[in-house]
A and B are shown apart, each in its own frame.
Chain A
Amino acid sequence: MAGRQELEALLGARGWGTTLPAFGDAAAPRGRAPSDEALRRLWAEGPPPGAIAELVPAAPQAAGLTGAAMRLAARHTRRGGRVAWLDARDQWDPDSAQRAGVALEQVLWLRGHPALGGLAGLSRWHQILGVVVQSGGLELVVVDFLAWPLAELRRTPRSAWFRLLRGLERLRQTALLLLAPEPLTQSCAALVVAMGAPSPGARIEPRLLRQRVVGLRA
């Protein structure tokens, strides 16, 4: 494992931070599906530092994303980690977070307001996200774009996500968890998980939609 980290550090220094399989595959034990192993590691260890993980609803009205994100945040804060919650629509509920096990004093809550709307507001949130990621002092950054109009989210240029990924890979300290109505970051995401019930009345379960395997980027 130490050799892998060393190799990753060397590749990261050359700008090839995503050359190796980023998550799950390499450590999947025999007899277990890679997707199961990736999900197990996600819930057990959280999103990997220096990578982007996306949580999306499996269906338009599916639920469970906020609860899952809070569970991951609780895992970090309980160990003393610092978490930033970018609440673009000011919908985060501190009471629910505390009941989910989040240590509130460890969470930097950035609340949106009506003036921060539209494409200009989205651009401002990307600016904020860049500042938070480049600060390097936070272990997990949760971005809640669930209630943001999807048409505006789709207009986000791909380069913005790549720039963000570069910042994450450079420090390899911060993990980014993105809550969105649909996958936004495409190939920048190390992991895309859909949350939802497989059938009406069934329990909400995560499903691995995509996992970055090998992507050689110069």
Chain B
Amino acid sequence: MSYLAVWLPQLPWQALRFQGELPAGPQLVLEAAGLTRQVVAVNPAALRRGLSAGLSEAQARLRAPEALAVARSPAAERQLQAWMQEDLEHSSDRCHWLPPERWLLDLEGMGLLGSPAQIARTLRARLRARGLQPALGVAATRTAALLAASGGGLWVIADPDPAPALAALPLEALRALQGCGMVGAGPSAPAARVPLVSRPAVTARGGVLAPTRGPHGPKSALRLAGAAPNSLPGGGPPCGITTTPEPEAGSGDPGSQPFAPILPAGKAARPPRADAEALLDLFARWGLRSLGEVAALPPRALAERLGRAGLACQRWARGQDQGLLLPAPPPEPPCELRQEFEPALEGYLPLLPWLEQKLGQHCAALERADRALAAAALELGLQSGSPWRWEQRWTLPHRDARRLLRQLETSLAMQPPAAPIAAATLRLVGAKPRRTQTGLFGDPAGQSQRLGRLLARLRELLDDPEGQRCGAARLQDLHRDDAFVVVPYQPSGSDASDAYEVAAPAPPEAVPCLRVARPPARIQLELRRLPAPDGVARPEGALCHLPRRPPERVLRAAGPWRSSGEWWTDGAWSRDEWDVELAHQQRFRLLYDRRARAWFLLGEYD
């Protein structure tokens, strides 16, 4: 088992260099940070001049006035990351990206490409040929490979136990793992356990932790009550552990025990990175300078002081892997691909190879990212100036490049461009792929897909692209009549044939249901009496002229239900609603608009 780690230090600068040649001399990559600009990457020449990321532009100018300042380009970085991902997959089929600038390759089973060291050398030569300056590390564990890569250059650790080889690395190397999201992923809350070591503190076992000066320089030392000096497991280098007799643990003030956990164990499953920083700072203040010194600490004493986070940090210092590697998802491929053709393409056939290549690459990238295509659009820039557009949206997202190419080819053949093609823009919209049932109790396989296809077909038949005439109604809590919205139809998945009869509440007895007239039809009402002084026009006995009906007298009327609203806008409404009964027990809902002084038919009760 061996792993290869690839690191592209100063990625913003390398991305710009990957795009094109940069002149010699110190270079700074700047990014706006509030009102000022900040250095986010530098080249080796600038590093030698003492510049580094994190400086402000003014600070950098003071140190190297002649340095070339370049603006950061996130697009170039994304392009480099995508290219790296694609290129590294030629070396291993298990390539994980640890954003933003590290990649981890599992070389197991890649013997046909050579030994791990040979693969690493080949890869380094390939990357250097593209103008990149990678750092590579090969080791038996992922952690060791990443730590080896952080040293710069190419480092192959052939020993199955990488701890001795890593022992000389400075403590700062652990920050490389922190950048990958590995350090700080312990299961406990180290921030609550990190002690303030400026004063002696009583440990849970009655010992005292105090900074002391070790025999080999200004080192801190751990002094443990009851622990034999230099009794380190694994025979690591001594780091000045001595013991002094101290009072019993129970005799001290409990409140003065800084190692007592404030948070219960397991509360913080993934402490933030600031905690890991604090852990590394703590190690530095203890006088630990190398990974070997951290690896040699007694695990039990370390656990008592720092909890499981401390132990995790020690395992990383020994180059041991912990748990499964959970890499970040690969970047989603860009959604717009543009190509200009010089000279312009005559006809659409020469365009197809470009489409085939781009669609193949894009769909492969979508598959890696576990995404699919929801829509695609092709826009051709013709020499005549007139645009040629094609657009397709799928109910069921897919990533079948051949299918998409076939659809494009058919559309191009049916409506060929009228002039030579000068440019082509392909826009692809990603979506979450649709899952099918793999278990017993989920949605039956394809059920939701069939429903989606049905709704799409119905919208097409109803000429309803906005989905306002095909969907489920949802009532709105408004005083206005007919207050509802049409939302996408997403019924619950239960089947009526499987439901229990007893669980279903019985529907109410027959209630009068309204058949709504949309929009309300204006009608004539010949009132017997003039409206009252309060403005109420009573329709009893009035002669009602309804559409497509002979005039009839209103036998009974109930109302008015007065409502008004939005008087503060142009759409103000103020109306009286009446339920009236004509002959043959026909009942209608009428509306008297008091602003327009007109009668309308709102609907018929049926």
- Residues of A at the B interface (CB closer than 8 Å) are 59, 61-68, 70-71, 74-76, 78-82, 90-102, 104-113, 115-116, 124, 127-128, 131-132, 135, 137, 139, 146-147, 197, 200-201, 204
CA distance A55 to B551 in the complex (A): 28
User: Is B518 in contact with A200, judged by CB distance below 8 angstroms?
Assistant: no
- Using Cβ atoms and an 8 Å threshold, which residues of chain B touch A115? 463
Q: How far does the Cβ of B470 sit from chain A's closest Cβ, in whole Å?
A: 6
User: Is A101 in contact with B507, judged by CB distance below 8 angstroms?
Assistant: yes
User: Is B507 in contact with A93, judged by CB distance below 8 angstroms?
Assistant: no
Does B21 belong to the interface (CB within 8 Å)?
A: no
- Closest B residue by C-beta to A72: B507
User: Is A100 in contact with B471, judged by CB distance below 8 angstroms?
Assistant: no
Does B504 belong to the interface (CB within 8 Å)?
A: yes
Q: How far does the Cβ of A110 sit from chain B's closest Cβ, in whole Å?
A: 6
Give 10 pairs: A residue, B residue, CB < 8 Å, sorted on A. Answer: A71-B507, A91-B516, A96-B513, A98-B475, A102-B507, A105-B490, A108-B470, A113-B463, A116-B462, A132-B458
- Using Cβ atoms and an 8 Å threshold, which residues of chain A touch B496? 76, 79-82, 139
Does B326 belong to the interface (CB within 8 Å)?
A: no
- Using Cβ atoms and an 8 Å threshold, which residues of chain A touch B516? 90-93
Does B569 belong to the interface (CB within 8 Å)?
A: no
- Using Cβ atoms and an 8 Å threshold, which residues of chain B touch A200? 584-585
- Closest A residue by C-beta to B516: A93
- Closest A residue by C-beta to B484: A94
CA distance A91 to B512 in the complex (A): 14
Does B570 belong to the interface (CB within 8 Å)?
A: no
Given A131-B458, A137-B450, output 16 extra A-B contacts at Cβ < 8 Å.
A61-B586, A63-B606, A75-B504, A76-B496, A78-B506, A82-B496, A90-B518, A91-B515, A93-B515, A94-B474, A97-B513, A101-B507, A102-B507, A107-B472, A109-B470, A131-B454
A79-B469 CB under 8 A given contacts A110-B462, A200-B584: no
Does B596 belong to the interface (CB within 8 Å)?
A: no
User: Is B461 in contact with A67, judged by CB distance below 8 angstroms?
Assistant: no
CA distance A93 to B474 in the complex (A): 11
- Using Cβ atoms and an 8 Å threshold, which residues of chain B touch A99? 508, 511, 513
- Closest A residue by C-beta to B473: A94
Q: How far does the Cβ of B310 sit from chain A's closest Cβ, in whole Å?
A: 53
User: Is B584 in contact with A61, judged by CB distance below 8 angstroms?
Assistant: yes
CA distance A97 to B450 in the complex (A): 27
CA distance A95 to B485 in the complex (A): 12
A78-B504 CB under 8 A given contacts A66-B515, A95-B514: yes
Q: Which of B458, B586, B605 has the most CB of A within 10 A?
A: B458
Q: How far does the Cβ of A8 sit from chain B's closest Cβ, in whole Å?
A: 15
A108-B471 CB under 8 A given contacts A67-B606, A101-B507, A131-B454: yes
Q: How far does the Cβ of B427 sit from chain A's closest Cβ, in whole Å?
A: 31
Name B444-503 residues within 8 Å CB distance of A: 447, 450-451, 454-455, 457-458, 461-463, 468-475, 482, 484, 486, 489-492, 494-497, 499, 501, 503
Closest 6 CB pairs of A and B: A81-B496, A80-B494, A101-B507, A74-B507, A94-B473, A66-B606
Does B505 belong to the interface (CB within 8 Å)?
A: yes
- Using Cβ atoms and an 8 Å threshold, which residues of chain A touch B472? 104-109
User: Is B513 in contact with A79, judged by CB distance below 8 angstroms?
Assistant: no
User: Is B469 in contact with A113, judged by CB distance below 8 angstroms?
Assistant: yes
User: Is B486 in contact with A93, judged by CB distance below 8 angstroms?
Assistant: no
Task: Give the contacting residue for B454; candidates A92, A102, A137; CB below 8 A.
Answer: A137
Does B1 belong to the interface (CB within 8 Å)?
A: no
A63-B586 CB under 8 A given contacts A115-B463, A127-B461, A131-B457: yes
Does B603 belong to the interface (CB within 8 Å)?
A: yes
User: Is A109 in contact with B473, judged by CB distance below 8 angstroms?
Assistant: yes
User: Is B447 in contact with A137, judged by CB distance below 8 angstroms?
Assistant: yes
CA distance A135 to B447 in the complex (A): 10
CA distance A93 to B472 in the complex (A): 12
User: Is B605 in contact with A105, judged by CB distance below 8 angstroms?
Assistant: no
CA distance A67 to B514 in the complex (A): 9
User: Is A63 in contact with B507, judged by CB distance below 8 angstroms?
Assistant: no
CA distance A113 to B499 in the complex (A): 35
- Using Cβ atoms and an 8 Å threshold, which residues of chain B touch A62? 584
A64-B471 CB under 8 A given contacts A76-B496, A80-B495, A81-B496: no
Does B268 belong to the interface (CB within 8 Å)?
A: no
CA distance A115 to B463 in the complex (A): 9
Task: Give the contacting residue for A96; candidates B490, B501, B511; CB below 8 A.
Answer: B511
- Using Cβ atoms and an 8 Å threshold, which residues of chain A touch B451? 135, 137
CA distance A165 to B75 in the complex (A): 59
CA distance A59 to B107 in the complex (A): 83
- Using Cβ atoms and an 8 Å threshold, which residues of chain A touch B468? 111
Q: Which of B482, B486, B489, B513 has the most CB of A within 10 A?
A: B513
Q: Which of A63, A70, A147 has the most CB of B within 10 A?
A: A63
- Using Cβ atoms and an 8 Å threshold, which residues of chain B touch A79? 494, 496, 499, 501, 503-504
A70-B513 CB under 8 A given contacts A100-B507, A108-B489: yes
- Using Cβ atoms and an 8 Å threshold, which residues of chain A touch B463? 113, 115-116
Task: Give the contacting residue for A64; candidates B450, B504, B514, B606; CB below 8 A.
Answer: B606
Does B274 belong to the interface (CB within 8 Å)?
A: no
Task: Give the contacting residue for A67; candidates B458, B506, B512; CB below 8 A.
Answer: B512
Proximity string of chain B (403-443) to chain A, C-beta cutoff 8 Å, 1 when within and 0 when not: 00000000000000000000000000000000000000000
- Using Cβ atoms and an 8 Å threshold, which residues of chain A touch B511? 67, 70, 96, 99-100
- Closest B residue by C-beta to A45: B501
CA distance A111 to B470 in the complex (A): 7
- Using Cβ atoms and an 8 Å threshold, which residues of chain B touch A147? 515
Q: How far does the Cβ of B582 sit from chain A's closest Cβ, in whole Å?
A: 9
Task: Give the contacting residue for A100; candidates B454, B470, B513; CB below 8 A.
Answer: B513
Proximity string of chain B (218-230) to chain A, C-beta cutoff 8 Å, 1 when within and 0 when not: 0000000000000
CA distance A63 to B503 in the complex (A): 31
CA distance A197 to B328 in the complex (A): 70
Task: Give the contacting residue for B492; candidates A90, A106, A113, A135; CB below 8 A.
Answer: A106
CA distance A18 to B603 in the complex (A): 39
- Using Cβ atoms and an 8 Å threshold, which residues of chain B touch A65? 606
- Using Cβ atoms and an 8 Å threshold, which residues of chain B touch A107? 472-473
A100-B492 CB under 8 A given contacts A61-B586, A115-B463: no
Does B517 belong to the interface (CB within 8 Å)?
A: yes
Does B510 belong to the interface (CB within 8 Å)?
A: yes
User: Is A111 in contact with B507, judged by CB distance below 8 angstroms?
Assistant: no
CA distance A33 to B227 in the complex (A): 98
CA distance A99 to B603 in the complex (A): 16
CA distance A118 to B454 in the complex (A): 25
